[in-house]
Structure 1
Amino acid sequence: MSIGFLAIAACVPILVALVLMVWMHWPAVRAMPMAWTVCAVLAVAVWKMPVGFVLAATLGGFGNTLNILIIIFGAIVLLFSLQESGGMETIKQGIGGLSDDKRVQILLIAFLFSAFLEGAAGFGTPAAIAAPLLISLGFPALAAVMACLILNSFPVTFGVIGAVVWFGMKNLTPLVNSAAAQGIAPASIPDAWAFFGVVGKWGAVLNTLPIFILPLFVICFVTRYFGANRSWKEGLGAWKISLFASACFAAAYLFFAFVMGIEFPSLMGGLIALAMTVFAVRKKWLLPADAWTFGPKEQWEQDWIGSIDMNGGGQSGANMSQMRAWAPYILIGALLMLTRLSSLPFKAWVMGLEIHIPAILGYESVQFSMKPLYLPGIMPFMLTALLIVPMHGISWKKAGVAWSNALKRITGPALALMFAVALVEIFKQSAHNALDYPSMPLAMAKGAAALAGGAWPLFASFVGALGAFITGSNTVSNLLFSEFQYGLAEQMHLPRQIIVALQLVGGSMGNMVCIHNIVAASAVVGLTGAEGAIIKRNSVPLLIYGLCTGLLGMLFCYVLFPGIF
């Protein structure tokens, strides 16, 4: 069967999900089971996978959903615990004291604080924490989720301590080592680890333009679609502080990528830029002349609003110091750092406990694995939620209310996530077929490459985005496609590290539209049925992001650096 036919067939389940959610406005809880059904039928009818194999992949997907649901539940119970204690109200007033301008708050929380969280934790943590913070500051739930998803993109290029690169591209290790042994690779790339470092540098460079464009675009996006005056111009009023925040982040991001390696660009870039931007805001430097806020809540459209009360529960006002209110987040940051650094023993401790089910229904490639203590939903989210009781002095009764409400909140999105992740597992397992066909994602990538021809650098990042859209993970996107991108660059005599870097960056930008990230982030803020609207609107910045990196890729590959490895 031709690669073109396979590519078109593989696209059908995704198109079904998009049509149902974006055009027919179905909620994900209805659309994803339908998309899974189409995917399962294609897997059996076209890829000739045994029905038992498809069932095993589905069960594996259902099991993997548990990992995601634990993270969502932990984030929700943390939020509700802070609401019950009055900590969220205190934080709200503290950030509002820096600036009550919602444009500035987007920069501080959705951009810089989220970048730090991505570098420290990943696993959907940034949106799970940052979106509720924005809601507590008076943001509509839909605006908060969209802003957090869009801006949690370029930090994902490196992810948690560089794992997106060194683990996501591990399939390239024998290829790069072989090229080095044969003298094909330059002396500066003696092995795969050195290649990963070079790819990280190129990824940081390719992200530089989006780092300056996207934050200001998101601000304008919010003022245009959620402001009382529906004005792009009102967003542009924050251009000075936006470019300052971007410059601080880009400088630290590039420094750590080029000098320190792939582990810390996002984490340290977010932390350093956050400190510098907070300092500038305190000094009233570069701020707009007038603070911008959303219009009265009575004028908001109904689909903007989530089911979580943004004024919080428990306490009506700030009843503690800022340090005490922020203590749970400080503890979360410390625990994440301690348990993610390989140089410390704690990472091995928390990863030591593992629940593993091999060969589901007898199929060796389908497995379930959970490391409970390494999931941020349990440690540190749930642990910190319990510690809020003594830290903030609330009763166990109020803590019980928070946990009970969180459990009720998570039941809605569970079904949508189960079928979204099951669909992803079928996509991945379709590589194991009797006809030796490429997997569904690889068929789509090869079809795209055949259409693009010599213009491949312009489109390479969109393959990475496709992988993230399907799987919800830049790491998995790289596992699926980095070997394909490397081989294609070799065949077309294009610089391999630049093409692979485009794959890396593409997986980052795909983070803003992937279905299960959207479902998860929406669940945390109590927003249901808006998945299609989020995908539709977030597709605009994705295209801008992809165009920026694609044009830079063409420039680097054909004009500035055509002869490099």
Structure 2
Amino acid sequence: MRLIEGLTASMPVLAVLVFLVMLRMPATRAMPLALLITAAMAWLVWGVPGHYIAASVVEGWVIAGGIIIIVFGAIVLLHTLKASGAIDVIRAGFTRISPDRRVQAIIIAWLFGSFLEGASGFGTPAAIAAPLLVALGFPPLAAVVTALIADSSAVSFGAIGTPVLVGITQGLDQPAAEFVREVAIRAISIDVFVASFLPLLMICMLTRFFGEQRGWKYGLRLWPFALFGGLAFTLPAYGVAVLLGPEFPSIFGSIIGLAMVIPAVKVGFLQPKIPWRFEPNPSVDAPGNETLQANTGPQMQAPMGPLLAWLPYLLVVMLLILTRLDFLPLKALFTGVSVGLSNIFETGIGAAIQPLYLPGTLFAAVALITILVHKLPAAKAVSVWKGACLSLLPTVIALGASVPMVRIFINSGVNSAQLAAMPLELANLAVLTFANTWPLVAPFVGALGSFIAGSATFSNMMFATLQESAAVQTGNSTTTILALQMLGANAGNMICVVNVVAAASVVNLVGKEGQIIRLTLAPMLFYVLSSGLVASLFFL
């Protein structure tokens, strides 16, 4: 692969780093520019036929449509809860559990977010946890960064084990079920040593960049509780993976974690003497929160009990679980409706979404139920939905460019340069260059897949065979290397441009995507480097 071809293959990564992170351009400008450059270089250098590039763009628009539905549903649900006054009740409830923002972040982003990831995946944790944190008084930037860091370890077994059961299984062309189970157990075994420290890193980032008192020391002071919160998820998840398999570690691990942590907080176990808080006006730290407040109208309409306030979120959780269990009829019913295109421009490329199955549709349905249950006036409900629709325009532009760019990258295997698809060429180059240190590099390949594709499942599908081959070539354990692929794919979710754009959109931070990535980059590097080191020391 020549230098110009290497630059072309790296363009989606370079575009994000240069335009979003270095030049600090908003995604609404950066991603259309990156799409144009990627498409031009794919055609001129890689030799991808023009109609394949056009088909990839259309495919990307279909996929982006599904993400936009998720974002819209999250926005309209949050705004409905704020307009009805439910968020005030929820905020008061969390304050009664603990007024400390570090503790709230661990409970909501780490444990509740992990439950949402296990039940649904596909962007649901950030779409729910980030706006909930904002509603509780977190600065929007702090909420998004916290939610993205937290939505990592649970991704291994997200959406009821999809990254393993679909990603690894299809990536290796239907290996033995026992082997897949061993890979899953090895992944969570490594994760116990690594992800258990993520809550501590998460609150250290929170205290370093936000709040009245800023500094790493304010996060480090809570290290016993943060480690307790981390182990409260990872250890039960490990036990579930060993006993039940890869479907339920994230769901049961988070439920057990919540059942352990919340009572511990209430009795003062490992709790700080002095709560750590944000500045009185969160909008000082991150522009955008004032917009969210303005769009939702007046607050409390009438006295409301905690159960009624939490009812919409309980309905969301219930619907997510009921529609994702194979043995229940609802999954087949909801997935039976599909909208999309096949064989676009006679290329064999196609894409479809299942609108009823998307979490965003469930969010919107619950928002409609909430209007009735919370007795929200019709005029206010119309205003909420209208505001949610108007707020989507920047998201449509950013996702409408970034997702097609990714699809061009992934579909570039059809070309006149006689090269593999761009991500595979990059991964093959990595194998040749770093063969002697592959256990340290393997998780970076997994992170690359998630960073580009916006999906740990797709990263595992794309690179599982390459990781298996690299393990054989370098004399490493295939099980461990594939486990590192999974953990790297988890880490890539923290900086994935699609996830960042979607999460930023929900809390009115469009234009701050580069700033978000700059803050989540260090935790991502910690995750991949620590996973590689732990595997090298204890599992090879």
Q: Which residue of 2 aligns with 1:278?
A: 262
Q: Which residue of 2 aligns with 1:549?
A: 531
Q: Secondary structure at the match of 2:533?
A: helix
Q: Which moved more, 1:253-262 or 1:201-210?
A: 201-210
Counterpart Cα distance in 1 of 2:173 and 2:22: 44
The residue identity in structure 2 corresponding to 1:296 is P
Counterpart Cα distance in 1 of 2:179 and 2:154: 20
Counterpart Cα distance in 2 of 1:326 and 1:359: 44
- 1:323-362 to structure 2, matched below 5 A, reads 323-362=307-346
Counterpart Cα distance in 1 of 2:262 and 2:302: 21
User: Is 1:470 the counterpart of 2:452 in the alignment?
Assistant: yes
- 1:78-93 to structure 2, matched below 5 A, reads 78-93=77-92
Q: Aligned-pair distance for 1:22?
A: 1.1
Q: Which residue of 1 aligns with 2:45?
A: 46
Q: Which residue of 1 aligns with 2:209?
A: 225
Q: Which residue of 2 aligns with 1:185?
A: none
User: Does the 8 Å CA contact 2:172/2:465 hold for their aligned counterparts?
Assistant: no
In the alignment, structure 1 segments of 5+ residues that lack a partner are: 177-190
User: Does the 8 Å CA contact 1:306/1:527 hold for their aligned counterparts?
Assistant: no
For residues 297 and 64 of structure 1, do their structure 2 counterparts lie closer, same or farther at Cα, with a shift above 3 Å needed? same
Counterpart Cα distance in 1 of 2:112 and 2:448: 26
Q: Secondary structure at the match of 1:356?
A: strand
Deviations 1:176-227 (A, max 9, x none): 4xxxxxxxxxxxxxx2x21111111011012112322111111111111112
Q: Which moved more, 1:69-78 or 1:229-238?
A: 229-238
Counterpart Cα distance in 2 of 1:172 and 1:14: 23
Q: Which residue of 1 aligns with 2:420?
A: 438
Q: Aligned-pair distance for 1:298?
A: 7.7
Deviations 1:412-464 (A, max 9, x none): 12111111000111011101224431111111111112221210001100111
Q: Aligned-pair distance for 1:228?
A: 2.4
Identity of aligned residues (%): 40
Counterpart Cα distance in 2 of 1:347 and 1:498: 33
The residue identity in structure 2 corresponding to 1:212 is S
Q: Which residue of 2 aligns with 1:156?
A: 155
Counterpart Cα distance in 1 of 2:127 and 2:22: 27
Q: Secondary structure at the match of 2:352?
A: strand
Counterpart Cα distance in 1 of 2:180 and 2:25: 41
Q: Which moved more, 1:226-235 or 1:455-464?
A: 226-235
Q: Which residue of 2 aligns with 1:308?
A: 292
Q: Which residue of 2 aligns with 1:202?
A: 186
Q: Aligned-pair distance for 1:311?
A: 11
For residues 310 and 98 of structure 1, do their structure 2 counterparts lie closer, same or farther at Cα, with a shift above 3 Å needed? farther
Q: Which of residues 358, 370, 395 is equivalent to 1:375?
A: 358
The residue identity in structure 1 corresponding to 2:533 is L
Counterpart Cα distance in 1 of 2:287 and 2:154: 29
The residue identity in structure 1 corresponding to 2:504 is S
User: Is 1:386 the counterpart of 2:362 in the alignment?
Assistant: no
Q: Secondary structure at the match of 2:213?
A: coil
- 1:180-195 to structure 2, matched below 5 A, reads 191=176, 193-195=177-179
- 1:390-405 to structure 2, matched below 5 A, reads 390-405=372-387
For residues 468 and 133 of structure 1, do their structure 2 counterparts lie closer, same or farther at Cα, with a shift above 3 Å needed? same
Q: Aligned-pair distance for 1:72?
A: 0.3
Q: Secondary structure at the match of 1:71?
A: helix
User: Does the 8 Å CA contact 2:126/2:503 hold for their aligned counterparts?
Assistant: yes
Counterpart Cα distance in 2 of 1:353 and 1:311: 33
For residues 297 and 174 of structure 1, do their structure 2 counterparts lie closer, same or farther at Cα, with a shift above 3 Å needed? closer
User: Does the 8 Å CA contact 1:125/1:376 hold for their aligned counterparts?
Assistant: yes
For residues 361 and 107 of structure 1, do their structure 2 counterparts lie closer, same or farther at Cα, with a shift above 3 Å needed? same
Q: Aligned-pair distance for 1:62?
A: 1.3
Q: Which residue of 2 aligns with 1:188?
A: none
Counterpart Cα distance in 2 of 1:312 and 1:241: 35
User: Does the 8 Å CA contact 2:86/2:300 hold for their aligned counterparts?
Assistant: no
The residue identity in structure 2 corresponding to 1:487 is S
For residues 478 and 418 of structure 1, do their structure 2 counterparts lie closer, same or farther at Cα, with a shift above 3 Å needed? same
- 1:23-38 to structure 2, matched below 5 A, reads 23-38=22-37
Counterpart Cα distance in 2 of 1:282 and 1:175: 47
Q: Secondary structure at the match of 1:285?
A: coil
Counterpart Cα distance in 1 of 2:352 and 2:280: 47
Q: Aligned-pair distance for 1:533?
A: 1.1
User: Does the 8 Å CA contact 1:93/1:318 hold for their aligned counterparts?
Assistant: no
User: Is 1:101 the counterpart of 2:100 in the alignment?
Assistant: yes
For residues 288 and 312 of structure 1, do their structure 2 counterparts lie closer, same or farther at Cα, with a shift above 3 Å needed? farther
Q: TM-score, normalised to structure 2's length?
A: 0.97
Counterpart Cα distance in 1 of 2:246 and 2:12: 35
Q: Secondary structure at the match of 1:373?
A: coil
For residues 44 and 481 of structure 1, do their structure 2 counterparts lie closer, same or farther at Cα, with a shift above 3 Å needed? same
The residue identity in structure 2 corresponding to 1:119 is G
Q: Which moved more, 1:244-253 or 1:197-206?
A: 244-253
Q: Aligned-pair distance for 1:296?
A: 3.0
Q: Which residue of 2 aligns with 1:187?
A: none
User: Does the 8 Å CA contact 2:139/2:283 hold for their aligned counterparts?
Assistant: no
Q: Which residue of 1 aligns with 2:139?
A: 140
Q: Which residue of 1 aligns with 2:465?
A: 483
Counterpart Cα distance in 1 of 2:270 and 2:116: 26
User: Is 1:259 the counterpart of 2:243 in the alignment?
Assistant: yes
User: Is 1:505 the counterpart of 2:487 in the alignment?
Assistant: yes
Counterpart Cα distance in 1 of 2:333 and 2:372: 26
Q: Which residue of 2 aligns with 1:211?
A: 195
In the alignment, structure 2 segments of 5+ residues that lack a partner are: none
Q: Which residue of 2 aligns with 1:183?
A: none
The residue identity in structure 2 corresponding to 1:448 is A
For residues 293 and 424 of structure 1, do their structure 2 counterparts lie closer, same or farther at Cα, with a shift above 3 Å needed? same
Q: Secondary structure at the match of 1:286?
A: coil
For residues 431 and 396 of structure 1, do their structure 2 counterparts lie closer, same or farther at Cα, with a shift above 3 Å needed? same
Q: Aligned-pair distance for 1:77?
A: 0.5
User: Does the 8 Å CA contact 1:77/1:382 hold for their aligned counterparts?
Assistant: yes
Q: Secondary structure at the match of 1:309?
A: helix
Q: Secondary structure at the match of 2:24?
A: coil
User: Is 1:451 the counterpart of 2:414 in the alignment?
Assistant: no
Counting matched residue pairs gives 540
Counterpart Cα distance in 2 of 1:318 and 1:291: 30
Q: Aligned-pair distance for 1:244?
A: 1.7
Counterpart Cα distance in 2 of 1:434 and 1:374: 39
Counterpart Cα distance in 1 of 2:288 and 2:187: 34
Counterpart Cα distance in 2 of 1:467 and 1:287: 39
Counterpart Cα distance in 2 of 1:99 and 1:310: 27
Q: Aligned-pair distance for 1:175?
A: 7.0
Q: Aligned-pair distance for 1:304?
A: 7.0
